[in-house]
Structure 1
Amino acid sequence: MTGQKRPRVLVIAEAANPDWVSVPLIGWSLSQALRDVADVHLVTQVRNRDAILAAGLHEGTDFTAIDSEALARPLWALAERLRMGEGKGWTMVQALNALGYPWFERLVWKRFGPAIEAGEFDIVHRITPLSPTIPSALASRCAKAGVPFVLGPLNGGVPWPPGFDAERRAEREWLSYVRSAYKLLPGRGATLRGAAAILAGSWHTASEIPRRFRDKVIYLPENGIDPRRFNRIADPPEDGPLRAAFVGRLVPYKGADMLLDAAAPLLRDGRMVLDIVGDGPARSDLQIQARFLRIDKGLTFHGWQAHGAVQDILANSHILAFPSIREFGGGVVLEAMALGVVPLVVDYAGPGELVTPGTGIKVPCRGRDEIVADLGDALQRLCKDRGALPMLAQDARHRVDALFLWSRKAEQIAEVYRWVRSAEGPAPEFF
């Protein structure tokens, strides 16, 4: 539909915080990018209020903070106890969030339902939660009011690959064995029927949407890049050893232990150096492994670092070595690509979708021993000849600029908004 004015969009992002990472940063970044293409009012949870005020938004005009702490706080505390370890048991956290989230939406409808029914908003868009397991009562309510409801991007639930049950248990992912039961939960069907568009952050999530709703499913990875934060171009030394970096939480499924095994011969003889940025429950085991492999000389554990320091380390690296075997989004892969650091990843889930031929290096997702062997072969080749890396780095940066800047993602979603308002033609495609 041509000649449409900027849509008035009520953006619901229960998690939206400029000071945090992962889902809250996605909720914040996307909601703010959308202000360039729409008149946005953000609705979020009260825990984000102070950070949003500090970022310069005006409460009541730019955003509303919903206080659902009476239920959210005890559920979060319970999840922290049940997960039995920092950074573990994520499926448990999502399950308990699913219990508390309907109360948040009930409060949202109490505050904004009359305005939605009165036509004060052209679109309602729920960005977070990202999990496809959490239904939305607002979808059917908006449909009854004649206001298009956009859901997503949704992502999560990528199956554990065969051969990694030990890592699955180490992550305390007990509920992952019965995760598919969410498809039977009340409200899922109504959510999918009521949504005018469903943004799927991964092809796996898209595949879980019932076929009768596929005509409104749009593939759109949830992660994006802010060029103000990633504003350098990597410039690693032309001579000397291959410089690799791993950035992420040190938990079993991220695969840092496989990387150490694969890189050990190269680290011992000085052909490669490796920076590990991040922390987590697996750090002590990784340090013991490093001593056993006698690779301490070529390996540095940096722990958690501020954003600028992480960028400095990446910008001095030839490759990001990131063999995660169950990564939903893979934001760090995009961040490396934006800097011109070539990603070396396992071809599975988020990283496998973000890295295409010509923009990085992928090894097949097989058993642990096979991944270690394939990683070792790839690293050996790069140590012998780094000639392909500059072109890969350049094309990786071009891919990010074309598809994954937050400004570009806002333009993509603006096309979705035009489509749901016009109700004409097939759903837009971007990939």
Structure 2
Amino acid sequence: MTRRRVLVIAEAANPEWVSVPLVGWSLARALAQVADVHLVTQIRNREAILRTGLVEGQDFTALDSETLARPLWRLSSLLSGGQGRGWTIQQALATISYPYFEHLVWKNFGSAICNGAFDVVHRVTPLSPVQQSPIAAKCRRAGVPFVLGPINGGVPWPKGFEAEMKQENEWLSRLRGLSRVLPGRRNTLLSNAILAGSHQAIRNIPARHQERVIYLPENAVDLERFWRQADHDPARSGGVLRACFIGRLVPLKGVDMLIAAAEPLLAAGRMELDIIGEGPVLPMLQEQARHLGSTVRFHGWKKHEEVQDIAAGCTVLAFPSIREFGGGVVLEAMALGLCPVVIDYAGPAELVTPDTGYAVPIGNRSEVVAGLRTALLHCADNSEEVEQKGLAARARVQALFTWKNKAEQVREVYEWVCGARTDRPNPMSVNNFDLQPRGRCCRTHT
């Protein structure tokens, strides 16, 4: 099959960071296995990429947009209050700086694109759907297919969590509808293909563009890092439910609700909880769990491999985030054979099926705590069922959510936009696994 020549635009692509930069890097490197890829990224990623052995000018180009990016990043940090807060504020200010980055991309690669040096131009990051891509219209005029995404975001704050929204300094999220009138949005959405990372992202795209939308969650797993046998033998754990939480300790992650929900099991010695991560609410959580003694362990920040070592000794990932776009940590835990317990809202709930885990219905705080308690009690009482769901979770990741598979899924999109296939790809329906929405069928047992 023809190897397409692809210019991958990933402003955030860094092998030494996490979250969006790691997604950008991982997808770009995976695509290099199925296409002739040249990566264009921001100068801040240059040194980390060089340390991987890639050759600057041959494999990648790092563009310096710091003249505008740096002061706006400082301003966004000031306005958002730091400590990972104010995500919407950061994205809003990035809408000012990012077009300058694409201006530099066109300045450096516009002639090559127009002269047919690339079969496809693909913007991988930013993942935010509000970031416009001026290059999309220029590629269209040049007759070169432009692929956008995966894009993700735009998840409304759930009702009943206004206090958490205030603590996260997310007041600007109330005005997210204004993104629909941003200059350049229409031209960006006229991309030849739009990869949408969630069904919420799909719903935010106008109907006239839906024929070019393809559902493809942005996260995946490197099996060399996460494919290992976890210790799930209930006999060795004395029948105690071992659960873990992995992530930033901020209000929206809901760890306080998790501790409250698990308290009866923890106090009775039927459950142990490992909390991996750091953040501004850590002292509050430690105080909340103080009376529970060693049944709740706070590990702080850990390197990826250390996180894996702790999680591999658990049977359940308890991830009660109330507003999550993607949920990469859920896939990583599933790859280790853990059974996920998530909130049935946005990204993580789309990754978990009834066969692979439990999704707690969204509601107000007391309803979520009650739902989590029901799910955890069920897990403690049904260790064999949990074990089977963990095994099914690993199989699901292997079938759909490896970076190798992700690259093949995107390659199908390249073939479609280049005219080599007539049917629109459906990458999330393969190997008898189906990620299409099933309503709220992942409910916990009652």
* 2:80 is the alignment partner of 1:80: no
Alignment partner, residue 264 of structure 2 = 265
Q: Check if 1:395 corresponds to 2:396.
A: no
Counterpart for residue 252 of structure 2 = 253
1:44-90 CA distance string (max 9 Å, x none): 00000000000110000000000001111111111111111311101
Within 5 A, what are the aligned runs for 1:270-289?
270-289=269-288
- The one-letter code matched in structure 2 to 1:189 is R
C-alpha distance in 2 between matches for 1:366 and 1:430: 32
> What is the match of residue 207 of structure 1?
203
Q: C-alpha displacement at 1:423, in angstroms?
A: 6.8
- Give the equivalent residue in structure 2 for 1:57: 54
CA distance in 1, matches of 2:247, 2:259: 14
- 1:378 Cα deviation (Å)? 1.4
Aligned AA for 2:241?
A: L
* Aligned partner (choices 28, 31, 35) of residue 32 of structure 2: 35
Aligned equivalent of 2:341: 344
Equivalent residue number for residue 129 of structure 2: 132
1:8-407 to 2 correspondence within 5 Å? 8-193=5-190, 195-239=191-235, 240=238, 241-291=240-290, 294-407=291-404
SS of the residue 1:275 aligns to: strand
After the TM superposition, which of the residue ranges 50-59 and 79-88 deviates more from structure 2? 79-88
Q: Is the CA contact (8 Å cut-off) linking 1:130 and 1:152 kept in structure 2?
A: yes
CA distance in 2, matches of 1:332, 1:105: 30
**TM-score, length-scaled by structure 1:** 0.97
The RMSD of aligned alpha carbons is: 1.0
Q: Residue 374 of structure 1: CA displacement?
A: 1.1
Question: What's the secondary structure of 2:317's corresponding residue?
Answer: strand
Percent of residue pairs bearing the same amino acid type: 60
Tell me which moved more, 379-388 or 397-406: 379-388
Q: Which runs of 5+ in 1 are unaligned?
A: none
Partner of 1:178, secondary structure, is: helix
Q: CA deviation at 1:425?
A: 2.6
CA distance in 1, matches of 2:218, 2:103: 25
The question of whether the paired residues in 2 share the 8 Å contact of 1:267 and 1:297 is answered with no
Q: Which runs of 4+ in 1 moved over 4 A?
A: none
Contact 2:413 2:425 in 1 (8 A): yes
In the other structure, the counterpart of 1:409 is 406
Three-state SS of the structure 1 residue aligned to 2:58 is coil
Q: How many equivalent pairs are there?
A: 425
C-alpha displacement of 1:381: 1.9
Separation in 2, partners of 1:102, 1:40: 22
Aligned equivalents of 1:62, 1:381: Cα separation in 2:
51
Residue 26 (structure 1) shift: 0.2
Work out the CA distance in 1 between the residues paired with 2:309 and 2:23. Answer: 22
| TM-score (normalised: structure 2) | 0.94
Deviation, 1:236, is 3.1
